Amino acid sequence: MNEMTPTLDLEGGSRPMRSLRSVAALAEAGLIPPERVVGLEAAASRYAVAVTPAMADLIDPTDLRDPIARQFVPDPSELTTTPDERADPIGDDVHEVVPGLIHRYPDRALLKFTSVCAVYCRFCFRRETVGQGAGIMSETALADALAYVRARPAIWEVIVSGGDPLVATPRRLKTLTEVLGNIDHVRVVRFHTRVPVVAPERVTPDLVDALVAPGKTTWVAIHANHPRELTPATRAALAHLADAGVPLVSQTVLLKGVNDDVETLATLMRAFVEARVKPYYLHHADLAPGTSRFRTSLEEGRALVKALRGRVSGLCQPTYVLDIPGGHGKVPIGPQYVGHREGVCIIEDFSGKRHAYRPADPTES
């Protein structure tokens, strides 16, 4: 356990990340015009800023609606909190059993291993806490969290999140997976990360090796929101993980102005599948402070997911979910295809046509 110290080393592979961490740096890199700097300083001082070279290279500064810039460049609207928004939009605090460990569902617990990320998304549901503090869980906090997990045999899966756990060094990650590997009832370790997308150079053989817990199954959930994020370098990083036998699933947030049209979503989901990443969740944007510019309505989201059905392969279908505010967990909120009329099931197909379905009554046979 002495390997776990509060100091976070953000260097990996052959070079440091050299992220842009201020609006002045964004302006110097040509990603925003100089006249916008003053207007964005307040938002940047309120919520952390970081844009990696990989993401900076994707931003088109001539396009005011650029979907990559929209995710990472601060905006003055972030200082406006609507009445329905809350600092803890999914109710982490309600289920934080010891500092840094969330136990919301009976068979799994989420470990907030780091409080920093490689990039800071402007829609992040943990934006009130990420980008602050020492970066990694203290030795004491981690020991307390692991003791809680050891004492509860019902915990079958540990989700390692943050922040982004893959900004930690392979050495620190290896120590964590080895400790989890020694807890008999923990059978699955899942890492949630944006690193293979936003800093693919960090996915080295040492990092891939560090994610594998002896005797356990490791899964990695990859967060990407727009098909342009799946660059050749990102696809190579994902291939390193898949080739090592690590199953990959995706997480995407439905974001207005980024991916709220069916063609963008379809292209993204196909790109995931081509990269051996199974589409998993499409999240309805959470009620985090200052994020109203990103949220669609539930009706718009349901219509988009319905439009995907029949348009793309079943392999490409994510589950559209809402994390109920207040800590009540995720629920699927996708479209419905089954109705009833006069005792008959009415089934709607992918093109919108309705069909009567009269299953045989098993009691009559």
Q: For 25-68, what is each residue's pLDDT tens digit?
A: 999 999 999 999 999 999 999 999 999 999 999 999 999 899 99
Q: Which of 47, 88, 124, 174 is catalytic?
A: 124
Sign of the torsion formed by the C-alpha atoms of 176, 179, 182 and 186:
negative
Q: Which of 172, 190, 286, 316 is catalytic?
A: 286
What value does the mean pLDDT take over residues 332-348? 90
What value does the mean pLDDT take over residues 75-104? 97
d(CA 160, CA 158): 6
Q: Which of 108, 150, 309, 311 is catalytic?
A: 108
Q: Is 104 a catalytic residue?
A: yes
pLDDT of residue 134: 63
Q: Which of 121, 122, 172, 281 is catalytic?
A: 121
Over residues 293-314, the pLDDT tens digits come to 999 999 999 999 999 998 999 9
Q: Is 126 a catalytic residue?
A: yes
Q: Which of 86, 122, 126, 202 is catalytic?
A: 126
Instruction: Quickly state the pLDDT bin for 18 (edges 50, 70, 90).
Output: confident
Q: Is 330 a catalytic residue?
A: yes
Is it the case that residue 74 has pLDDT exceeding 70?
yes
Q: Is 108 a catalytic residue?
A: yes
Q: Is 122 a catalytic residue?
A: no
Q: Where are the domains of the chain?
A: 23-332, 336-365
Instruction: Quickly state the pLDDT bin for 5 (edges 50, 70, 90).
Output: very low
Q: Is 121 a catalytic residue?
A: yes
Instruction: Quickly state the pLDDT bin for 147 (edges 50, 70, 90).
Output: very high
Q: Is 323 a catalytic residue?
A: yes
Is it the case that residue 348 has pLDDT exceeding 50?
yes
126 closest CA partner among 5, 283, 286: 286
Residue type, 350: F
Q: Which of 112, 117, 120, 228 is catalytic?
A: 117
Q: Is 124 a catalytic residue?
A: yes
Q: Which CATH architecture has domain 23-332?
A: Alpha-Beta Barrel (3.20)
Q: 214 or 359: whose pLDDT is higher? A: 214
Of 124-128, 140-144, 223-227, 338-342, which gets the smallest average pLDDT? Answer: 338-342
Tokens of 337: 């295809």
CA distances from 154 to 159, 185, 192, 327 (A): 14, 7, 21, 20
Is it the case that residue 165 has pLDDT exceeding 80?
yes
pLDDT of residue 360: 64
Instruction: Quickly state the pLDDT bin for 14 (edges 50, 70, 90).
Output: very low
Q: 51 or 129: whose pLDDT is higher? A: 51
Q: Which of 21, 46, 92, 105 is catalytic?
A: 105
Phi, psi of 32 (to 5 degrees): -140, 150
